[in-house]
Amino acid sequence: MRKTIALLLAGGVGSRLNVLAQVRAKPAVTFGGNYRIIDFTLSNIANSGIENVGILTQYKPYSLMKHIGTGAAWDFIGRSRRAKILPPKTGLKDNDWYRGTADAVAQNFDFINRFKCERVLILSGDHIYYMNYLDLVDFHKAHKTQLTIATRVVSPEMAPEFGIAQVDENYKIIHWEEKPRVPRSNLASMGIYLFNTDFLRECLQQAEGHDFGKNVIPWVLEQREAYAFPFDAYWQDVGTIKAYWDANMDLINPNSGLNLEHWKIRTNPIEEEMKRDRIPTYLASRARVSNSIISQDCQIFGEVVNSIISPGVIISEGARVIDSVVMHDTFIGENTTLRKTIVDKNSYIGDNCFIGYGNASTPNKRYPKHINSGITVIGKAARIKPNIKISRNCLVFYGVDFKCFQQHEYEAGSTIYSETAEIPF
Amino acid sequence: MKKIVAMILAGGRVNELGVLTLYRPKSAVPFGGIYRVIDFPLSNLMHSGISKIGILSQYRSTSLINHIGVGEAWDFVGRNRGASILPPFKGEMDADWYLGTADAVYQNLNFIYDHNPDLVLILSGDHIYKMDYQPLIKYHLDQQADLTAVFKRVPAGEASRFGLARFAEENDFGGPLKAYDEKPAKVTSQWASLTIYLFNTRVLIEVLKENHEHAQSFHIGKDIIPAMINRYRVFGYKFYGYWGYTQTIDEYYQTNMDILDKPSEFPLRNWEVRTNLCHRDIRDRMPAKITPTAKVTHSLIYNGCTIAGEVHHSLLFPGVKVEPGAVIRDSIVMFDTVIQKGARVSQGIIGSDVLIREQVTIGDDSSEPYETSDLISSNSGISVVGERTQLPPSLSIGKSCTIYPFLTENRFSNSHIRSGMIIQ
C-alpha cells in the first residue's frame, strides 16, 4: 500500500461535545476506557496496510501529539513507515489558519508531494468504526474513478447533519448536497475521501471555497464524476454528548456490532509522565461489578453496573456507578451514586453525593442543544463537595472547586461554573 | 558521583519452580498480574538512577530477551544508558557454561572493563522487593568498604536456607562482618543475605581472578565472601522492607497472594514498577469485560480479561477468559488461558495459553490423602499446570499435582489425577 497515503484531519473543535472537547481536540477525547477517538482511524489505517499518515492538527493539539508519540503503538515506525504530525504553519500571509478541510489539505500538499503516491485517502479522526480501506481502494480502482466517497445509510432524522449523496445503480453520485434541510436520500458521507493525487491537486487549485463537502465535491460533480462506496457496518459519529454516550454503551451491548477485540483497535497506553506502569485492577471483597468495561489500575470497592471505567479510577465502598462513563484517575467517594453521568479525567466526587438523580427532562439551561438527553457531564479535574445532589442534564465545568458549590442541590438543567478555573492539563 | 554499573544474575532455572521454568529462566516468570520477576530489580535500578546494566542469562533466554527488548520500558535507552543482555559464549574450552555466580561475573569481566566503573552492584533477578540502592551506595562509601552485602532479619527457623551474616559490631544500618556462613546446617545468625552485593571494582576483579585461578567452587556467597572476610573491608547493610521469594512453588504463590492479602507490607501501587507493555501485547488489550453473570471479589484483573464466571481471591493475567459457571478460587492464572463453562479451579497456578475444558476440576477439596515429599511441587496443596496444556472435559485433578506444559487432551487417559501426581 505504498501507493496510497493517508491524511487525517484531526483539528476538529467538537463544540457539541462541550467541556469534553474544550480541554483537548475532539479526536483526543477518551473513549471505551483506555482509548481515544482517533485510535479507531489510526488502527484502521495500520490494519489496512497503509504505511504513511500525516495528521493535521490545529485546535489544542497537545494531548493528541502526546498520544500519537512516535506512532509506534500503531506500528508506524521504520524507515518508510511513519505517522507525522503536521502542525499548522504560517503561509505568505500572516494569519493563514485553515479555512476549511480542503484548505487544510491544500496547505499541506508539500507533505503529499514528498511521497509520489498515486492516491490520497483523506480521513477525519472523530468516528468510531472499523473499515479496511483496501476495500475502498479496490472499489475506486474497479470504477476507474478519480474520487470515491465512503457513504453509509443513516436515519432520516440524522441525514441533515451530513453530506447526502444520491447515486445511480453503479454507485455513481448523481446528486450531492451538504447538510440539506430536506434530504433527498439517506446515504450520508462518512467524511472519507479517496482521491487520485493529481486529481486532488487539480481540484484544490481550481475549485473555489475551502471545504470538501461544501465546495470541492460539488465542483467535481459539475466537471467530472465521483462514486459512493457503500459501507454498512458499525459507524458512529460521536460528535454529540448523546452519541458519545450511546457509542460507549454499545461496548457493553453484545448486539451492537461494536467489538474492539475483533477489530484489533490499538491505543498508546504509555503515559510518559508516570513513573510507574499502571498496575492490575483490584476488585475488593465487597465489590459488585456487572456488565461493565473496567480498565487497568482501578480500585473498586463499591458497585459498578452498565458502565465504562477508564484506568486509575477509585470507586469507594458504598458507591454506585450506573450507566456512566468515568475517565482516568477520577475518585468517587463513599456512598456516592452516579447515574447516567460522564465524568472527565482527574475529577473528585466527594462522599454521599448523588449525581444524575430524578427524572426531570429539562434540557441544560445554558447549553440546551448540547445537553438534553438526560446525561449529566462533569468536566476535567472538577472537585465536587461531599453531600451535593446534582440532577440530570447538568453540567459541571472543568476545574470547578468546592467553593463553587453554593447550594446542596442542583435541579435538572443546572450548570456549575467557575469564573476562575483555568483549563487543566 | 561514583560511576556504577549493575549486573543482574538472571540466568538460573531453579528446579523448585518446576514446570514454570521449563521454557524460561526464573527471572522471566510472570508475576503479579502483568509483570515478570526481573521487573522488580530493573525498576529499582531505574528509580535509583543506575542505568548501565548487564543482564547475565544462560538458561533458555528467549523469553527474557523478548521482555527486556532495548530496555526502553525502564528508560535505559540513551547514549550513556543501556541494558545489555550478556549471553554465555563458548570459551577456549568448549564447555564453558557458568559454573556459579562468581564464574558468571568472571566470564563477563569485559563488560566491566568496557565501562570502567568505580563500583559494581550485583543483583539477582528473582526477588520481589522495592529498594533504593543509593543509601546502600552512600553507606558503602562512608564505611570505605570493599564489599557491602545486604541482609534482612528472618525467623530463626527459616534462616538455614540463606547465607548468614555475623556482625563484628552493628547498628541500625549494619556493620562490619566477622563471619559469613552460606546455608549452614546450624543457624548462626538471623541476618539472611538478599544476594545484593556492592563491590569496589578493583577488589571485585582481584577476588574473581583469585577464585578462578585457585578455587574448585565459584559462588559469590559460598566462596568469595567468606574468603574476603579479614582480608578486605566487608560490611553488611540491613534491609527492613518487604522481601518476596520466588524460589519454590509455595513461595511464588505466597508472594503473589501477598499483593492481595498484605497490601500494607507489599503496596504494589507505590512501588513504581515498570514492565515491558509490548511483551505479549499487553498494551493492545482492551479493558476487562465483566458480564452480568460474573462475580469477581478480592482479585486482581487486567485488560484483555473477559469474565462471565466467578473469580475469588485470585490473580488473572491479561487475556484470561472465564466462561459462565466457571469458578476460580485462590489461584494465579497467566496470559490468555481459557477456563470453560462449569470448570472449577482452586489453589492452582495455571500457566499461559492453557485450555481448561468444561467441567474440569483442579484442587477440589476431596479428603483424599497424599504424602508430601520432595518430589511433589507444593507442600500446601497447590497444583501447577504448565503453559499451552489442554485439559479434556470433566478431568479432575487433585491437590499438589504437576501437569507439564504442551500436553494435548489425548495425553490424559484417566478421568482423575490423584493428588501429588506428576503428568508429563
Q: Does B74 touch chain A (CB under 8 A)?
A: no
Q: Who's near A309: CB < 8 A, 6+ residues apart?
A: A33, A292, A293, A294, A295, A298, A300, A315, A321, A326, B287
Pair B97, B220 in one domain: yes
Would you call A269 and B296 a contact, using CB atoms and an 8 Å cutoff? no
Q: Does B34 touch chain A (CB under 8 A)?
A: yes
CATH number of the domain residue B351 falls in? 2.160.10.10
pLDDT of residue A1 exceeding 90, the answer is: no
Closest partner residue to A34 among B273, B287, B315, by Cβ? B287
Pair B114, B232 in one domain: yes
- 8 Å CB contact between A150 and A136: yes
Would you call A277 and B273 a contact, using CB atoms and an 8 Å cutoff? yes
Pair B138, B17 in one domain: yes
What ipTM did this prediction achieve? Answer: 0.89
Would you call A292 and B34 a contact, using CB atoms and an 8 Å cutoff? no
Would you call A276 and B272 a contact, using CB atoms and an 8 Å cutoff? yes
Would you call A33 and B287 a contact, using CB atoms and an 8 Å cutoff? yes
Q: Which of the residue ranges A116-120, A264-268, B186-190, B376-380 would you say has the lowest mean pLDDT?
A: B376-380
Pair B228, B353 in one domain: no
- Shortest CA distance from A35: residue in chain B: B286
Rounded Cα distance between A296 and B288, Å, is: 8
* Segments forming the whole domain that contains residue B97: 4-261
Pair B221, B326 in one domain: no
Which carries the bigger pLDDT value, residue A410 or residue B63? Answer: A410
- Residue-wise pLDDT for A332-377, tens only, equals 999 999 999 999 999 999 999 999 999 989 999 999 999 999 999 9
Pair B151, B65 in one domain: yes
Q: Supply the pLDDT for residue B149.
A: 98
Q: Is B274 within a domain?
A: no
Q: Is B267 within a domain?
A: no
Q: Which homologous superfamily does the CATH classification assign to the domain defined by A273-416? A: Hexapeptide repeat proteins (2.160.10.10)
Q: Decide which of B208, B229, B261 is a domain's last residue.
A: B261
Q: Tens-digit pLDDT profile for chain B (424 aa)?
A: 789 999 999 866 556 677 777 777 788 899 999 999 999 999 999 999 999 999 988 777 788 888 988 888 998 988 888 888 887 765 555 445 678 899 999 989 999 999 999 999 999 988 999 999 999 999 999 999 999 999 999 999 989 989 999 999 999 999 999 999 999 999 999 999 999 999 999 999 999 999 999 988 899 999 999 999 999 999 999 999 999 988 889 999 999 999 999 999 999 999 999 999 988 888 889 999 999 999 999 999 999 999 999 999 999 999 999 999 999 999 999 999 999 999 999 999 999 999 999 999 999 766 566 655 555 667 789 999 999 999 999 999 999 999 999 999 999 988 999 998 999 8
Domain A4-250: top CATH class: alpha beta
Pair B170, B233 in one domain: yes
Residues of A in contact with B298 (CB under 8 A): 283-285
Per DSSP, the three-state class of A405 is coil
- Shortest CA distance from A274: residue in chain B: B272
Closest partner residue to B303 among A73, A291, A296, by Cβ? A296
Q: Which of the residue ranges A111-115, A298-302, B47-51, B88-92 would you say has the lowest mean pLDDT?
A: B88-92
Q: Does A225 touch chain B (CB under 8 A)?
A: no
Rank A231-240, A410-419, B143-152 by mean pLDDT and report only the highest: B143-152
Q: Is B98 within a domain?
A: yes
- Shortest CA distance from A32: residue in chain B: B287
Pair B141, B214 in one domain: yes
Classify residue A16 by its DSSP letter.
Answer: G
Pair B251, B323 in one domain: no
Would you call B296 and A265 a contact, using CB atoms and an 8 Å cutoff? no
Where does chain A hold its CATH 3.90.550.10 domain(s)? 4-250
Closest partner residue to A283 among B34, B271, B296, by Cβ? B296
Q: Does A272 touch chain B (CB under 8 A)?
A: no
Closest partner residue to A280 among B284, B290, B301, by Cβ? B301
CATH number of the domain residue B142 falls in? 3.90.550.10
Where does chain A hold its CATH 2.160.10.10 domain(s)? 273-416
- How close, in Å, is residue B11 to chain A by CA atoms? 25
Pair B219, B336 in one domain: no
Would you call B297 and A285 a contact, using CB atoms and an 8 Å cutoff? yes
Pair B291, B327 in one domain: yes
Residues of A in contact with B67 (CB under 8 A): none
Q: Does A269 touch chain B (CB under 8 A)?
A: yes
Q: Supply the pLDDT for residue B292.
A: 96
Q: Which helix (H) or strand (E) is B121 found in, with range?
A: strand B119-124
Number of domains in chain B: 2
Residues of B in contact with A295 (CB under 8 A): 287-288, 303
How many interface pairs between A and B have CB atoms less than 8 angstroms apart?
Answer: 98
Closest partner residue to A280 among B272, B277, B300, by Cβ? B300
Would you call A295 and B287 a contact, using CB atoms and an 8 Å cutoff? yes
Q: Does B392 touch chain A (CB under 8 A)?
A: no
Would you call B283 and A270 a contact, using CB atoms and an 8 Å cutoff? yes
Q: Which of the residue ranges A78-82, A388-392, B242-246 would you say has the lowest mean pLDDT?
A: A78-82
Closest partner residue to A294 among B273, B287, B298, by Cβ? B287
Question: What does the mean pLDDT of chain A come to?
Answer: 92
Q: Is B275 within a domain?
A: no
Q: Supply the pLDDT for residue B94.
A: 47
Q: Which helix (H) or strand (E) is A41 found in, with range?
A: helix A38-47
